[in-house]
Amino acid sequence: MNGNRAGLAALRVLVGAVWLFQAWPQFQPSYLTSGFARQIAAMAGPGNPWHFYLTFLRTVVLSHTSFFAYLTLIGDGAVGVCLILGLLTSYAAAAAILLNLNYALAAGWMDRSLYSTNVLLIALEIVVWTLAAGRFAGADGALTGGSPTRSRRY
């Protein structure tokens, strides 16, 4: 059983590290000022097959690129840190699933491997979420004190 817990904790940390790796380039001032807008403009190109998402990118995101650039940076970074620390793990995993779904819809058509990457991450995040991976070697477990009434048992 301890091997399963260690593996689950390692999986949680690995997925969190992927999120921090994703967030790192977003700390560049050029990304926050113009890089994000260029990236979204490319994703909102005429080749995007997801009409409903294309409309969202063009009407909402491109109209507020500065806000969404910072929101993406904060979201990616917070998900990564929370998963690595095992803090608010269920919320972080749920947010990660939503972010991966958005990234797949926005950019998956540009590079088909992005669909696979996002689907794989979503599957791993579902495992982290459903098995409450933060209880093992994480802050969630330390905060609940291992109490069966405050955490799920498996």
pLDDT tens by residue, 63-81? 999 999 999 999 999 999 9
In-domain check, residue 32: yes
* Residue type at 37 in one-letter notation: A
Query: Residue 149: pLDDT band by 50, 70, 90 thresholds?
Result: very low
In-domain check, residue 80: yes
Angle at Cα 96 formed by Cα 33 and Cα 117, nearest 5°?
90
**Prediction pTM value:** 0.87
Range of the domain at 137: 2-144
Section 84-93 average pLDDT = 96
In-domain check, residue 109: yes
- pLDDT reported for residue 142: 87
In-domain check, residue 76: yes
In-domain check, residue 26: yes
- Count structural domains, the chain: 1
Lookup: tokens for 104? 């797949």
